Amino acid sequence: MYLAKMPREPSYDRDAALDAAMTLFWVKGYTATSLKDLELALKMRPGSIYAAFQSKEALFRAALDLYAGRMEAELAAIIAESPSALTALRGYLLSLGGLEPCDKPSTACMLVKSLLEIQTDHPDLRGVVLSHLQTVLRLLEDGFAKARAAGELPADADPARLAHRMQTYVFGLKIQAQRETDPVAMQRLARDLADEISDLRPAA
């Protein structure tokens, strides 16, 4: 009796490999990351890397999706699970004041770093980054819209405009954390920006 061969299971942990690639790209950037760097980080041979991810560009795209997906999921959960959307948004800014270099491969945002690096040389990758930035913007806008509906913002507040403002705060804090050496100063800056969100509440 003939038995069809079962497809071979990959001999690598795809999630672990992708996580390692994300960390590497986050630190070194797309251009500076060599195939040798990827071999060492992923613990895979070149042929296996290309078999699994097709190309360096496709692997970078997947790494961007992983990074952004985590950020987007975290922000969405914070807004959805809090009884006060405005308090949730304020708390998110405060949490960025606690970033320290030892916590993550880089405290600067991978999306912003990538956008500044690739510019117009890689339009497809630039499009991926811009798409994720737009998703973050939409989540923030949804949060402000929820806050306005709950009476936490004046009736004439513009959620889209507020979302652009807060997105600037979010990514600005992530970049500032890359250069700031005083954790107290970093926390103070985050608190100042978070207080601006609190101050949006209509006067009693």
- Name 158's Cβ contacts closer than 8 Å, sequence gap at least 6: none
Counting Cβ atoms within 10 Å, is residue 112 exposed (0-12), middle (13-18) or buried (19+)?
middle
pLDDT tens track, the chain, 204 positions: 444 444 554 556 888 989 999 999 998 999 999 999 999 998 888 888 888 888 899 999 999 999 999 999 999 999 999 999 999 999 999 988 875 554 566 667 889 889 888 877 788 889 999 999 999 999 999 999 999 999 999 999 999 999 999 999 998 888 887 777 788 888 999 999 999 998 999 876
> How far is residue 146 from each of residues 55, 78, 89, 151, 198, measured CA to CA in Å?
41, 13, 11, 9, 15
List the domains of the chain with CATH numbers.
58-198 (1.10.357.10)
Distance between CA atoms of residues 73 and 78, nearest Å: 9
